Amino acid sequence: MQENFDLLVIGGGPGGYVCAIRAAQLGLKTGCIESRGTLGGTCLNIGCIPSKSLLNSSEMYSKAKNNFSNIGIETDNIKLNLKKMMANKSKSVQVLTKGVEFLFKKNKVSYIKGKGVLFSKNDVVVYNEGKKTSYKAKNIVIATGSCSVSLPGINIDEKNIISSTGALSLEQVPEKLIVIGGGYIGLEMGSVWARLGSEVTVIEFLDHIIPGMDREISKEFQKILTKQGIKFKLDHKVTNVKALGNKLKVNFTNNTNKKEENIDCDKVLVSIGRKPYTEGLNLSKIGVQRDKKGRIEVNKKFQTSINNIYAIGDVIKGPMLAHKSEEEGIAVAEILAGQSGHVNYDVIPGVIYTSPEVATVGKTEEELKKLNVSYKIGKFPFLANSRAKVNNESEGFVKILADSKTDKVLGVHIIGPHCGDMIAEMGLAMEFGASSEDIARTCHAHPTHTEAIKEAALAVDKRPIHF
């Protein structure tokens, strides 16, 4: 007998599983279809979570090897056990994916394993291990996420030419690693392997790293990563990657003077971006419209061109971030339950989990200039922050951009210790329309890294106390 649902979610990643749980909480009979075999999507299985495990472990290894003796902790014969490090990563992923399964049971969400295919606006067929099962749904949410893209002629085999997936599972530290792309993922994974002993070179097509972030932060970040031993080839285009026995040769050209260069290496990490994953869903056949970039077109209520089919996360416009997908998933569930779900895209934070971290929310200087918005700047260095100083982590700064007339905070950009957590305070402040004066008058505990935020807010009106 065919099972009917109020809502079927196709995709069990951060957007999909959160949407399913919230919808079930609101009383909708909900099912979630996932083809991977485990819940959590790219983020939990081969993205955010395993990469943060390796970032944390590699940072501790690097500090133990290079920094502990400076603070009176003598360590001899520090050794890397990569197999154990990878096992720890895998265990964390397994525990968390099982945790999502538990949340489904707790909230009475039906977990449907297999590949979901749309056959009409209400009919979904799930294929799993040779079996075919049909389901009816009043509403459908597409949350199938994204996948890595490569350059023309460069085939990712996940052995020598790898994506972020392969970079999370290398069995030994490559002597030389080339990273194609200077964005979030490339710099995070490059940092992991640089700490563990690789000679890392990043080749970026643009003349700066982390495109889209505040340019002053980008410049400072590159300086810090260079000090850590990572090399950069900016304003270069990779033309091809050739195998030379058990080595690889990467050929690239300077965009300005057209000079050709090449580097031999052991592994190449292709990290130039991701694209919406919508293959095999039958979208064209049933009439779900997509834009030129392959993203599903939606209105403000996340409805596609078919009004009972919705789409969220990496398959629609906006930054490909897990927390953005979660917010959209909750918004859709609440809209379906008759509430007023909403996502404020102006206050979605972005974080790069290197050491130091980079965090941002709101507008950059470059964006404000394009919009002809008059703004003030307040900056405060971690060098003058007591907690950062005693912890020997004083690189970076906090930068606050506020409207010249109203003092409303328009953007915050931080490079420094623990700023991935600190940015939440600024997201909350901006969500409620805070001014830099509001932040400056809020008491921050001493000694903490967050005092740098208070001081940067004071600096907007040129009155910092400690700098």
- What residues are annotated to the active site? 446
Contact 318, 345 (CB under 8 A): yes
**Residue 99 amino acid letter:** G
**Residue 114 amino acid letter:** G
How many Å apart are CA 286 and CA 296, to the nearest integer? 13
β partners of residue 117: 125
Among 113, 90, 106, residue whose Cα is nearest residue 44:
90
**152, burial (CB in 10 Å: exposed 0-12, middle 13-18, buried 19+):** exposed
How many Å apart are CA 44 and CA 278, to the nearest integer? 19
Q: Quick one: how far is CA 174 from the chain centroid?
A: 24
* Strands 350-352 and 357-362, sheet pairing: antiparallel
Residues 6+ apart with CB under 8 A from 463: none
∠ at Cα 422 (448, 97), nearest 5°? Answer: 125
How many Å apart are CA 124 and CA 32, to the nearest integer? 11
Q: How is the chain split among helix, strand and coil, in percent rounded to 5?
A: 35, 25, 40
Sign for the CA dihedral angle at 463, 464, 466, 467 comes to negative
Among 32, 219, 261, residue whose Cα is nearest residue 124:
32
How many Å apart are CA 58 and CA 70, to the nearest integer? 19
* Strands 357-362 and 409-416, sheet pairing: antiparallel
DSSP state of 223: H
How many Å apart are CA 464 and CA 440, to the nearest integer? 9
Q: Quick one: how far is CA 435 from the chain centroid?
A: 28
| Count of residues making up the chain | 467
